[in-house]
Structure 1
């Protein structure tokens, strides 16, 4: 099952996508399962920019992805929102500011909620 990640609010979406891509590549369970999609270059520009990340999730992948996304959002300093969309169109949006304000006891609850939301239909 694939999950597409878009930056829906951020100063330079391409920079956030590249940073998150590098972060996700550090997760051994996600290594080789993360790819960037690029949009066609605008007329008069040199090259294309990343448009989204696509993560191919295997068994246990939703929990790993949820944990990694929350960790990345917590450590960041920018104001960014991510939209994670499954192939069936189901989507979840997460804002960095909200994640950074979570207490130590709230964080695992939210990670688990995201992991459940990313489970394929019939498995959650």
Structure 2
């Protein structure tokens, strides 16, 4: 899963997500202990929600999320779903954002978020 996670984080960074700050903050918080992957992805999900990115960057990020959701590595895809997507959905729900960002997601990703919010 490390390979997929590293690629995912680097790709988010390339699209304008400040992954360096998130990783530094989490390293400080966990004080040398290993950062739980779901916790890291949750922080990335909130950052994606709160970032003011161009439409093109948002599109690329949601394609990246879709690729992660369809990864053959089930541990990674489940971590993205339960970490990143659930944190993103919570941030969206708590801020009553319009559904414009949902339009950038695939049907599978929207379905996961809808199921999560209905749970």
- TM-score when normalising by structure 1: 0.40
| Greater per-residue strand proportion | 1
- TM-score when normalising by structure 2: 0.41
Structure with greater Cα Rg: 1
